[in-house]
Amino acid sequence: MSDLRQLRHFVALADHGHFARAAAAVNLSQPALSRSIQALEGHLDCQLVDRNPRGVALTAHGRLVLEHARRLLAASRALDNAVLQLASLETGELRLGAGPFPAARLMPQALGKFSCSYPQVTVQLAIENWQSLRQRLLDGDIELFIADGRELEGDPQLEVQPLQKHQGVLFCRPGHPLCELRNVGPDELRPYPLAGPRLPQEVQQWLATTLGRPQPLGVQCDDVLLLKQLVASSNAVCLVPWDVIADDVQSGRMAIVDWNVRPTLTSPKASAYALVRLAGRSLSPAAQAFVDYLLEIDGDALPGVQASDGL
């Protein structure tokens, strides 16, 4: 079996695309890294990279080996973490993922409680869309993630646990022309750009039909803070679950658009947060402790959208 160090060196070379940069990343000299890659190629009896003046490019064999190398290294890291955490949670690492919306409220609250209880555990959080997080989970880069689970249900490789639903709302800046209107319909919304993160197909189709736009999102961005800043400084409006914007609305920083398609908790406009993990795989002690905090916070009641908010 290949040495894990050689696999780690190969992954670094693939990530950096250049021997000198990869060597610096793994604290080796460039000749030592080159010998390590050559030894791996000799062991596997195939060429992994094509060398050229600009750096390296992976061969077909290299792309295949890279996929397995990432998973082997992730499994090795997970084993080390599990052993470290078995006796206590005084050390170790926890790798998590979150979609843009849960990363705006649910994830920070759960991480806050976890980090206060286990300050010695290092947490790494990836904020991406659900497709990228699914691949990270399958590759072993993260142990679990929170994201929209609509397009993940039925995946035999995953265990998808639905979380609390929140109504969908359109929000805008205070003083926006839409704030003066009641029962806003597609004709009134059409002049204003709609912003939001990458949407599940179900929601995108619903929006396209409702607004009469083949591409409903004029601005697509997975950063909720940036979306809020965009809305605050322009006439753009944004569709989000209520929990993401509740504090901003109640403080007067943002306003709710009174549109005429009333949301329900079963409509495409409602959130569909889910806790996603690998099917049949036990969690590390740190991950299980985090999940306990997450479910506790998710179960806490959040004030709903009131009639005075326009819904």
pTM over 0.85: no
CA distance 175 to 96: 38
How large a percentage of the chain has pLDDT more than 90?
35
Residue 123 contacts residue 89 (beta carbons within 8 Å): no
* Domains detected in the chain: 4-70 (1.10.10.10), 89-164+272-299 (3.40.190.10), 168-270 (3.40.190.10)
User: What is the crossing angle of helices 106-117 and 285-299, to 10°?
Assistant: 130
Q: Which residue has the higher pLDDT, 21 or 140?
A: 21
Instruction: For residue range 270-310, list pLDDT tens digits in order.
Output: 668 899 999 988 888 888 899 999 999 988 756 665 433 33
Burial class of residue 14 in the structure, from the number of CB atoms within 10 Å of its CB (0-12 exposed, 13-18 middle, 19+ buried): buried
Instruction: For residue range 242-275, list pLDDT tens digits in order.
Output: 888 989 999 999 999 988 765 444 455 566 889 9
pLDDT at 158 over 50: yes
Instruction: For residue range 193-222, list pLDDT tens digits in order.
Output: 999 888 777 778 888 887 777 888 888 888
Name residue, tokens 């979609």: 99
